[in-house]
Amino acid sequence: RFVDAASLPLTWAEGDLAVPVDMEIARRAEVFVGNAFSSLTSNVVLFRLADGRDWETNRFW
C-alpha cells in the first residue's frame, strides 16, 4: 500500500509537516524507492542506514 503525507488530512498550519511526515514514513518502510538525485532521498537513505537497514532495501529509479 502506498502512503504519503498527501493522503493525510492536514490543516493549513500542519502543511509544513508534510515533508518530515513523508521522511518518517519512508524511514520505516520495508523497501524505499527514491530518486537518486533527490536530497530527500539522500536523507531518507542516511536515516535508514543509521537505523541498521540493509543497503539492498533502498531502491533508486
Q: pLDDT tens digits, the chain, 61 residues: what are they?
A: 676 777 777 788 887 888 898 999 999 999 999 999 999 999 999 999 999 999 999 999 9
Q: What is the pLDDT of residue 1?
A: 67
Give, for 20, the enclosing helix (H) or strand (E): helix 18-28
Within 8 A by CB and 6+ apart from 44, the residues are 23, 26, 27, 32, 34
CA atoms within 13 A of residue 18's CA, in its CB half-sphere: 12
Number of domains in the chain: 1
Note every long-range contact of 12-21, with CB atoms under 8 Å and residues 24 or more positions apart, other chains counting. none
Q: What is the pLDDT of residue 23?
A: 95
Q: What is the pLDDT of residue 6?
A: 75
Output the pTM of the full model. Answer: 0.77
Query: Which range marks the domain in which residue 52 is found?
Result: 5-60
Residue located via cell numbers 490543516? 11
Q: What is the pLDDT of residue 28?
A: 96
Q: Is 54 helix (H, G, I), strand (E, B) or coil?
A: coil
